[in-house]
Each structure stands twice: as structure tokens, then as C-alpha cells.
A = this chain, B = another copy of it.
Amino acid sequence: MSDDPQQHFGGTDEPKGDSGEGMSPDGAAMMRLIERLYPICRSITGNGVRQTLKILQEYAPLDITEVATGTKVLDWQVPREWNVRQAYIARLDGTKVVDFATHNLHVVNYSTPIDQTVGIDELRRHLHVVADRPDWIPYRTSYYSENWGFCLSQRQFGELTDPAYRVVIDSSLEDGHLTYGELLVPGRCDETVLISTHICHPSLANDNLSGIAVALALARHVSSIAPRYSYRFLFIPGTIGSITWLALNEHKIDAIRYGLVLSCLGDRGTVTYKQSRRGDAAIDRIVSHVLKHDGGDGRVVPFVPFGYDERQYCSPGYDLPVGCLMRSEPGKYPEYHTSADNPDLLSGSSLAHSAAILRQIIGVIEGNAITRNNSPKGEPQLGRRGLYRVLGGQSSVENAQMALLWVLNLSDGRHSLLDIAERAEMPFAAIRAAADSLCATDLLSLVDA
């Protein structure tokens, strides 16, 4: 099938940076998935989430879990399930002036049902706009406080000049379930890498859909490499979803060695890594290393207890080694949580670059090891093993040979290959390649970490 939606998904092309739109197959496939998911009205519960997860199952064998309303999860309870069929503001003559059918951001997420005529003054107390952007619609929620409301552009707001309007929100807020997806790619050991992304935002592209697309591509990549570590991918509603998963899956938590929350990975900004609460966890060092050698415009920012689900993973009772990988940070790009965070904001090249960075991170996680130099006194004679140039006297030595010398010098059982790469200021892949060359002789052994 020439238009197989899965074609190229999770591919391993390595496009760099953001310039030019000669889009890689990888980036194009992610864009197609995002455009497909964009129109769906998601929330922290409800049919939009179910529909989204079903589509993801076309690409990877996710398990879908339903958790009943009222289930006690840590300090919280699973809320009632919210669904909305239609919602609008109409003139008293019936003309709809704001309509959920045209954009699902128009209704405040988790609005209670209403069908009545409302005076303009009261109505305005339920309306939300974006300051300074006449055409953008904001995204607002009221999950834990019963209320109703509409979000609209300032232009629409200005046109509401009648004394009263009919307001209809045909929603339901009833006992049901919270739904999430989970995919385990088993490795050669039980130690786990956690990849978590939220799936609760309605028509928002960078915040939500980009993370879903990149996580899915990464899941497919990891499935293709017969990994050492096990990889657990979570597709969950923000906050209440991670709280629910943590509450119901205590037995899976201890095995987590590395973790990343993925979000906002498709815009044209440079990559930003937010450290775990620990700040010096292995994942923090690994991502910093990869960004440093990826052209150097990636940024590392410290943990703060605000953001995405790293807030839960990094709460003091868990303190998991989980950071957050983004391009632009939430709240720091103007389109954030507005109708302007749509597929036009994204770049296939950015998506592909984000996925490539993640593959490099996985490369370090998978490839890191402690090594031992079996000939630790003096330098071994590399020349007779075909590992050293023949003619002496030149001013400098090639990178590949420097990598050999660094690995030999620091393989004392106390340094990992990542330690060596950091001290040598060389990319991990170059150090790992040197270690592989040396392991092919009698000179180097891998030590169990």
C-alpha cells in the first residue's frame, strides 16, 4: 500500500537541525500522524482519549487500561468521565456565533451541561480570550471545580453585542473511566527506561501531539534493536494519568533506571532538556552529553516542580531519574495553549531531529559500560595490532586514535565509557567505537556495570 500510514514511522534517518523543509520520511510520517489526531477532542477522560489510543494501536501494540471513576489513586480519586456532543453560543434567532463544531477549544474542558438563555453580563463571566491576539482562541480547563465556559477569539468576543444569548453545552459528566495506553518493549534485563507523554489535550499540536508522535517513533525504533534495557512507554492524561499509573503500578517503579517525559518536540525552537529533581542522575548526564555534541545549541535547564508529568515522577516519595525533553518550553512560546498551536507551528525536520536526539540518548543508555584495560601498565603496542599509524613525527593524531588512547587510559574499572567520553570531550559514539575495536583484540574487556 503506497500510502501506508506506518511507512517510515520510527525510521532512523538522521536529519540535523531545522533548516530547509526537504522533509525526511521520518518527519513526514510523524506529521501525517499529528494531522490525523489533531481534530479529536481529547480530555483527561472520555472518548477522545479512547479514539486516540485506538489510532496509536495501528502503529504499535499498546495495552489500553480503563480505571473506574472513584478509584482512589494516591491523594486523588479518578474523576467522572467527561464527553461533549455539541456546544455553542447562539443569538436568540438561532444563529450560532461560537460553535464547538468549528473548533474544540471553544468549550472550557470539563464544562458542565447547560442549555439556557443567559444575559450578556453573566455570559461574559464565562468567556475567555487571548490578550493581544485578536484571532487566537485560548485553551482552558476546569477539571476539579464544576463550571462551564467558552473560549473564543477577541474578534468573536467583540461581536457579542446582543443583550442575551442562548448557551448550549451538551456534555456529560458521569461515572465512567480514565483511559491510558502502555507499551512494554522487553529487553535483555528488567531494568527499565520510562518514556511518558500526555494525551489529554484537545486540538493542540506541539503541546501533546508532537510528544505522542515522537514517543511512538521511538517505541518502534527501540523494538527494532533488541535492546539491553526494557522500555516502558506511557500514553497518559497529564497529572491524574501519571498519578493513576503510579498508584496502580507500584511494582513496576523500582526497576526504572532512566526516564524522559516528552512534550513540545515539533516546533522550530532548539532542544531544551529539563533535568530530573536529582540534577545529577545518569539521564541528566546522558542528555547533556548528547546535546553538547549535537551542534551545541541545545539547552539544559534545572528542575522546577512545575511542568508536565515529571512533577509526579519527581515527587519526593518517588524521586525517579526522570527529566523532560522539549524544544520550546511550555508557557514560553506565544502559541502555547491557544489555537495557534496547530500543525502549522510544527516542522517535520524538527520532529525528525527530536527523534534523532532521542535515538542518540538511547544509544548511550544501551552502549554505556565499564571497561577494563587488560594491559594497564604503559601503553600497549597498538601498531603491531594494526590500530596505530605507521609513520611517526606528525604534529597531531586523528580523533579515532585519540579515542583509542582515551579508552585505554581511563579503562581502570572506575570509569564508564560515558565518563571517558565526557573527559575526552568526544561524542559517546566515537568512544564506544574505539572500545569495540579494542575489545576485538586482547586489550580491553567489558566489566558488568
**What is the interface of chain A, defined by CB distance below 8 A to chain B?**
74-76, 109, 138-145, 147, 239, 242-243, 246-247, 277, 304-306, 311-312, 314-319, 330-332, 336-337, 373, 375-381, 383-384, 390-397, 402, 405-406, 408-412, 424
Give A331 to B398 CA distance when docked, in angstroms: 13
Is there an interface contact between B306 and A390, defined as CB atoms closer than 8 Å?
no
Known: A143-B392, A331-B395, A392-B141. A377 touches B317 (CB 8 A): yes
Is there an interface contact between A380 and B75, defined as CB atoms closer than 8 Å?
yes
Is there an interface contact between B409 and A379, defined as CB atoms closer than 8 Å?
no
Give A140 to B379 CA distance when docked, in angstroms: 21
Q: Which residue of B lies closest to A302 (CB)?
A: B423
Q: List 5 A-B contacts (CB under 8 A).
A: A74-B377, A138-B393, A140-B393, A246-B378, A315-B376
Report the minimal beta-carbon distance from A240 to chain B, rounded to whole angstroms: 9
Contacts of A402 in B (CB 8 A): 304-306
Give A305 to B403 CA distance when docked, in angstroms: 10
Give A304 to B424 CA distance when docked, in angstroms: 8
Supply 19 further A-B pairs (C-beta < 8 A) apart from A144-B390, A247-B378.
Answer: A74-B375, A75-B375, A75-B378, A75-B381, A76-B378, A140-B393, A142-B390, A143-B392, A144-B384, A145-B391, A243-B379, A247-B377, A304-B424, A306-B397, A311-B379, A317-B375, A317-B378, A318-B378, A332-B395
Report the minimal beta-carbon distance from A379 to chain B, rounded to whole angstroms: 6
Contacts of A373 in B (CB 8 A): 316-317
Is there an interface contact between B376 and A317, defined as CB atoms closer than 8 Å?
yes
Give A211 to B441 CA distance when docked, in angstroms: 36
Contacts of A144 in B (CB 8 A): 381, 383-384, 390
Is there an interface contact between B316 and A410, defined as CB atoms closer than 8 Å?
yes
Contacts of A314 in B (CB 8 A): 409
Q: Which residue of B lies closest to A315 (CB)?
A: B378
Is there an interface contact between B306 and A337, defined as CB atoms closer than 8 Å?
no
